[in-house]
Amino acid sequence: MFIRAYLRASTKEQDAKRAKSELIAFANDHGHKIAAFYIENESGAILVRPKLMQLIEDAHKGDVILVEQIDRLARLNQADWDTLKRMLSIVSKELPTSYMALQSESSTEFMSSVLQAINSMMLDMLAAIARKDYEDRRNRQMQGIARAKAEGKYSGRRKDTVKRQIIASLLKAGHSYSEIQGMAKCSRQLIADIVKDNKRLIDQDVKASVK
């Protein structure tokens, strides 16, 4: 049995370590070891899931994907969710009916079929609830921003100037995006934004010097 663990943690290293330790302990309790880890160091608001897509690409039919909670997969659209379920056995710590995928044998073929049907229904229900909860929170956030803009109180998200300066220094020193992600605990998108900002400033300086 090949078990692939998928974690979506924040950019804080301790979050990923805690979740990883808990999944390792969970697998050990069921007599298994995790063969591969895929850790998404992104906020739940980010649409892109490169590590999850990599997991699906690496996996073979029948492999197990182990997650802390189904909401870690909630951002998948229905088509991707159906593909994931069809290809992999999904096990979640929060869903005991999913544990059967970790068992080598089931008591009877009939009971196995019943448990699979129940588990599939529970997975679909939890995924739908998680997606709706996310959409509701996003809608409330957008409504709050719209009200703040209408009242002239919205100034946008504050930039972490210290972190941006650190990233700019690392870029100047010649470090790669992956190295900077590890050292600064940031997303690739933030690094790309800083590269664009610096290029814009350089272009402005060049134009000013030509005048």
Q: Which pLDDT tens digit goes with each residue over 96-109? A: 878 877 775 555 56
CA–CA gap between residue 96 and residue 63 (Å, rounded): 18
Q: What is the pLDDT of residue 34?
A: 94
Cβ neighbours around 100 below 10 Å, total:
16
Whether the predicted pLDDT of 140 surpasses 60: yes
Residue 197, domain member (yes or no): yes
- The beta-strand segments (E) located in 77-178 are 89-92
Q: Kindly state the DSSP code that residue 75 receives in the 8-state scheme.
A: T
90 with 17, same domain: the answer is yes
181 with 122, same domain: the answer is no
For 15-73, the three-class secondary structure string (H helix, E strand, C coil) is HHHHHHHHHHHHHHHCCCCCCEEEEEECCCCCCCCHHHHHHHHHCCCCCEEEECCHHHH
Residue 156, domain member (yes or no): no
Question: Where does the pLDDT of residue 210 fall: very low under 50, low under 70, confident under 90, or very high at 90 and above?
Answer: very low
Over residues 56-76, the mean pLDDT reads: 81
Residue 170, domain member (yes or no): yes
- In a 3-state reduction of DSSP, which class is residue 137? helix
- In a 3-state reduction of DSSP, which class is residue 8? strand
83 with 11, same domain: the answer is yes
Give the pTM: 0.56
Whether the predicted pLDDT of 144 surpasses 90: no
172 with 105, same domain: the answer is no
103 with 17, same domain: the answer is yes
Question: Where does the pLDDT of residue 75 fall: very low under 50, low under 70, confident under 90, or very high at 90 and above?
Answer: low
Residue 11, domain member (yes or no): yes
- The beta-strand segments (E) located in the chain are 3-9, 36-41, 64-67, 89-92
Residue 118 sits in a domain whose CATH number is 3.40.50.1390
CA–CA gap between residue 113 and residue 152 (Å, rounded): 58
Residue indicated by tokens 């379920």: 85
Q: Among 92-106, 107-121, 150-164, name the one with the lowest average pLDDT.
A: 107-121
Whether the predicted pLDDT of 203 surpasses 60: no
Q: Which residue has the higher pLDDT, 127 or 111?
A: 127
Residue 79, domain member (yes or no): yes
Over residues 59-80, the mean pLDDT reads: 79
Over residues 33-44, the mean pLDDT reads: 80
Residue 113, domain member (yes or no): yes
Residue 182, domain member (yes or no): yes
Number of structural domains (the chain) is 2
80 with 14, same domain: the answer is yes
For residue 4, the cross-strand partners are 36, 65
Q: Which residues are catalytic?
A: 10
Domain that holds residue 177: 161-204
Q: Kindly state the DSSP code that residue 99 receives in the 8-state scheme.
A: G
* Structure-token pair, residue 15: 């979050």
